[in-house]
Amino acid sequence: MIGLFIDDIEVECDEEMTIMKAAESVGIEIPTICYHEKLTPPGLCRQCVVEVEGARVLLPSCVTKVREGMKVKTNSPRVQRVRKTILEMLAGSTDLSNAQGLQEQMKESGADSKRFDNSEKRVFPIKDDNPFYIRDYSKCIVCERCVQVCSEDIQFSYALTTSGRGYENRISTYYDKELPQTSCVFCGNCIDVCPTGALIARKESL
Amino acid sequence: MNTYDRIVRTTCPYCGVGCQLDLNIKDNSIISAIAPGNIAPNYGRLCVKGRFGTDFTHHKSRLKKPLIRKDLDVLPRIPCGIDGFREAEWEEALELAADRISNTYLKKGSSAFGTFCCAKATNEDNYLFQKFVRSVLKTNNIDHCARLCHAASVAGLQKALGSAAMSNSIGEMKDLELFIVTGSNTTETHPVISTFLREAVVKNGAKLIVIDPRKIELTGFAYLHLQQKPGTDVAVYQAMAHVIIKENLCNRDFIGKRTEGFQKYSETLDEFTPQWAEKISGVAAEKIIEAARLYAKAESAAIYWGMGISQSVHGTDNTLSIANLALMCGHLGRPGTGVNPLRGQNNVQGCSDSGGLPGVYPGYQNVSDPASKVKFEQVWNCELKDSAGLTTLEMSDAVGKGLISDFIIMGENPLMSEPDLNKAQKHFSELKNLIILDIFLNETGEYADIIFPAASFAEKEGTFTNSDRRVQLIRKAFDPPGEARADWEIINELAKRVERKTSQSPSSGFEFSSASDIWDEMADLVPAFSGISHKRIEKESGVHWPCPDKQHPGTPYLFADNFPRGKGLFNALTLRVESESTSTQYPYILSTGRVLYHWHGGTMTRRSVLDEICPEALLEMHPSDALKEGLSDNQMIRVSSPRGEISLKLKISDRSPEGVLFIPIHFAEASVNKLTNDLRDPEAKIPDYKICSVQVSSESD
């Protein structure tokens, strides 16, 4: 067991714990986007960043482990500014109309969805290639939850991957094949974890 | 976006995993389904059937009114579609059914009845159905499709251990150390279980040994694949036992304390060398030796199997050969360590538990045991027969011999699932009276006189018991279509009328007003269920039987301290070669099985969006066989056996070995059971679905 301070609360916890879990243990909830309880945290979205005394940059609390004597601020003005900006940038490039959780976070943090209104929009044709669900990647923020579900966090089917780099980065199948031509078994476990409604059961999309 | 207005938690109506399912309902229609969080047995996971395949409940061909055959009593009956029936009011249909049943009862007596209860219906439906059959029709001629799937697993495990169910729970799978999967294409038949098995391999470093004639998907995760020739399972397992004894790898302590018959059994193993087994099975002796060492030396080891073990003319021996291995290594009675037949239907475990078998009352209490008989007679207020009834195929035989004239079937589709279908169809066409309860007009319904429209899983309350003995609730999400009713409600009505018309003193045993009341009556009679009630399941989401009292937590894994029969029994085995053999005329072995997107006779999945992605049966044939026959992919092929022929498209694949063909069982237009053989295991009476001999030719020839 080690001791640290989170928002001035003294916390005792196992040294293998992440800052997020340690905060949770004393009732402090840190907002997240890509993190999901069932999945290996990818540390991608940076919405869960916290300020750690002595650290040069903000640290993603979903993957950073606690250390003895650490002093953590989970909601400092610097943290708040970063979180708000992340949401504003996502809103500027992606269609978040089905992303209920993100909309709530924007409201709570006072993020302005029009702040980066002039930015390049990520727009893709809807992929409608199977009888079960559709993939609307204009709504996708590339959190990679679906890729993880499809590979080694749940399904072990390995049908989804990321492709492209930088701005071109997106979720795809291998060689961009249509889903019925891949190892996809249409379990739909990816739909359950999609935070933005980019993956959606056909009947729900109507 | 189409948002739902309510969520109904229920249990998936497909395979035996028993996934918990949240149905998202809008305007009394299922628009999507999701997996609820961290709840056993699926812990937030689903497969394609559970997530997308429940739309059959809204299919336009659901039965909404009772149906009566237009040409009633014209024999032999000719199968007909919906146009061969007229719609009737419930009163008329119930009276007519009760009259016909009562006439037979009074004129020919109890033995003229054959009945099938249903592994898809609830425990409560099945309990009441078998109560009707036993207490009012006074016959034990009741069985269901468990006879056609795990009868041999049940017979073998009963003999060796005294209990026939998975001995481990699904929750233990991800922590496995070593496990064998044999005769189970788990990724397609129990998809969610397969995710936990793969997790054990990939994340936990577990070693998987696949013992299966086909190169199934799981072989890609396996440390070893023993690809035995169909029907040679006993040779492989006996040779593994030979190695374990010869190398002194057995668990002497366990054998001494918990088993009997080991000395005698071990003396029979001399001739079963790995080299001998290699000649029989085609599996290299070194692989058999390695598998034996891995299994015996593992700290904990579990064996999982499916139809490949049980659907065999020597299925009971197959099961016993597995039980022998587990007993000699002491691999029983601990977490992740045991013997596990994976049950195929949502409630096939529960249907058997609820007394849907010819030889036992609910809770596997023998009909010929006087104490059990008296107990049930007292509670049911009637006299009961003390001799076991006929099994599924014996009933079909008895129809052929004119001994059974009347059949009552709840939700089963024997004219898709029985072997040698042409023969079965002939038997059914000669029935004097066929009464059916179902949600659709299926292939068996086409022969019926009266069909009662039943409620689906989403339209009634009750419980299903999954493959790991977990009793879980289904909940009503919306009303049944038209005038359809829950099976138990239909039986309530029918039983009372037959009682009256046959002048039996009213037992008042069919006055139930809820599924929960039916469960309570059964739980009072079955010690393993005594601590389980609908209310408790509601609170805990599911309870594993045995659960003898309200304080008992339930039993996720069996045999911790003892076996139900006392000591585990070793059984000496010989290699029996009784399957149909290939010949120059019929040179291929045909195996049957399932595919991911469909389920059993296809009554539900063929009426679902699932049919869009998998609309037809495909014949799986090895590339070198296709080359030899001059056949190419997607060509229409005629496959025939000494019993019948079907036509379907060819899919060239090296999944099955040379000389072995595979055809799925779900497609009525290419019904593979027209080809299969009615040879049966002498003890379990299960047919030899995995082996029959066939020839192939191009449809255009």
What local confidence, expressed as pLDDT, does residue A9 receive? 97
Out of A131, A154, A200, the one facing B609 most closely (by C-beta) is: A131
Whether residues B48 and A186 touch (CB distance < 8 A) is answered with: yes
Whether residues A189 and B48 touch (CB distance < 8 A) is answered with: no
Judge whether B488 and B124 are in contact, CB under 8 Å: yes
Residues of B with CB under 8 A from a CB of A: 1-4, 24, 31-32, 34-35, 37-38, 44-48, 51-52, 55, 187, 191, 195, 198-199, 202-203, 221, 596, 609, 612-613
Out of A154, A200, A205, the one facing B195 most closely (by C-beta) is: A154
Residues of A in contact with B2 (CB under 8 A): 203-206
B137 in helix, strand or coil?
coil
Residues of A in contact with B186 (CB under 8 A): none
Each residue's pLDDT tens digit, B555-584 = 988 898 999 999 999 999 999 889 999 999
CATH number of the structural domain A133-205: 3.30.70.20
Each residue's pLDDT tens digit, A84-105 = 999 999 999 999 999 999 999 9
| Residue in chain A nearest B29 by alpha carbon | A203
Q: What is the mean pLDDT of residues B410-438?
A: 96
The CATH fold assigned to B67-144+346-541 is Rossmann fold (3.40.50)
- The answer, yes or no, to whether residue B489 has pLDDT greater than 70, is yes
Query: What's the whole-model pTM score?
Result: 0.95
Residue with the two structure tokens 């999901």: A36
Judge whether B396 and B414 are in contact, CB under 8 Å: yes
Token pair for residue B493? 């009505």
Token pair for residue B194? 């397969």
CATH number of the structural domain B588-698: 2.40.40.20
Whether residues A201 and B187 touch (CB distance < 8 A) is answered with: no
Alpha-carbon Rg of chain A, whole angstroms? 18
Out of A38, A186, A192, the one facing B52 most closely (by C-beta) is: A186
Token pair for residue B520? 């309570």
Token pair for residue B633? 């992919």
Out of A133, A185, A204, the one facing B2 most closely (by C-beta) is: A204
Tell me the HSE value of B255 on the side-chain side, using a 13 A CA sphere.
Answer: 18
CATH number of the structural domain B151-342: 3.40.228.10
Annotated domain spans of chain A: 2-75, 77-121, 133-205
The pairing of strands B433-438 and B450-453 is: parallel
The pairing of strands B113-116 and B406-410 is: parallel
Whether residues B45 and A189 touch (CB distance < 8 A) is answered with: yes
What local confidence, expressed as pLDDT, does residue B675 receive? 98
Residues 6+ apart with CB under 8 A from A29: A23
Each residue's pLDDT tens digit, B289-348 = 999 999 999 999 999 999 999 999 999 999 999 999 999 999 999 999 999 999 999 999
Q: How many other C-beta atoms lie within 10 A of the C-beta of residue B284? A: 15
Q: Does domain A2-75 have CATH number 3.10.20.740?
A: yes
Whether residues B45 and A131 touch (CB distance < 8 A) is answered with: no
Decide if A2-75 and A133-205 have a common fold.
no
Whether residues A203 and B31 touch (CB distance < 8 A) is answered with: yes
CA–CA separation, B27 and B17 (whole Å): 29
Out of A132, A192, A206, the one facing B48 most closely (by C-beta) is: A132
CA–CA separation, B189 and B594 (whole Å): 7
The CATH fold assigned to B6-58 is N-terminal domain of TfIIb (2.20.25)
Residues of B in contact with A204 (CB under 8 A): 1-4, 24, 31-32
The shortest C-alpha distance from A31 to chain B (Å) reads: 19
ipTM value: 0.93
Token pair for residue B584? 């120059």
Residues of A in contact with B46 (CB under 8 A): 187-189, 192
Judge whether B130 and B495 are in contact, CB under 8 Å: no
Residues of A in contact with B38 (CB under 8 A): 37-38
Each residue's pLDDT tens digit, B387-413 = 999 999 999 999 999 999 999 999 999
Backbone φ and ψ of A52, nearest 5°: -115, 125
Whether residues B2 and A152 touch (CB distance < 8 A) is answered with: no
Say if A180 is an interface residue toward chain B (CB within 8 Å). Answer: yes
Residue A71 burial (CB < 10 Å; 0-12/13-18/19+)?
middle
Phi-psi region at B610: left, alpha or beta (left = phi > 0; alpha = psi -120 to 50)? alpha
Split at pLDDT 50, 70, 90, the class of B165 is: confident
Alpha-carbon A120 to chain mean position? 21
Judge whether B123 and B347 are in contact, CB under 8 Å: yes
CA-closest candidate to residue B47, choices B183, B195, B222: B195
Annotated domain spans of chain B: 6-58, 67-144+346-541, 151-342, 588-698
Backbone φ and ψ of B281, nearest 5°: -100, -15
Each residue's pLDDT tens digit, B61-84 = 999 999 999 999 999 999 999 999
CA–CA separation, B566 and B569 (whole Å): 9
CA–CA separation, B606 and B56 (whole Å): 8
Whether residues B51 and A188 touch (CB distance < 8 A) is answered with: yes
Judge whether A81 and A49 are in contact, CB under 8 Å: no
Judge whether B673 and B418 are in contact, CB under 8 Å: yes
Whether residues A201 and B44 touch (CB distance < 8 A) is answered with: no
Judge whether B277 and B225 are in contact, CB under 8 Å: no
Judge whether A18 and A32 are in contact, CB under 8 Å: no
Q: What size, in residues, is chain B? A: 701
Q: Which parts of B185-251 fold into alpha helices (H)?
A: 186-189, 191-204, 233-246
Alpha-carbon Rg of chain B, whole angstroms? 24
- The answer, yes or no, to whether residue B2 has pLDDT greater than 80, is no
Token pair for residue A176? 């961009």
| Residue in chain A nearest B610 by alpha carbon | A131
Judge whether B690 and B591 are in contact, CB under 8 Å: yes
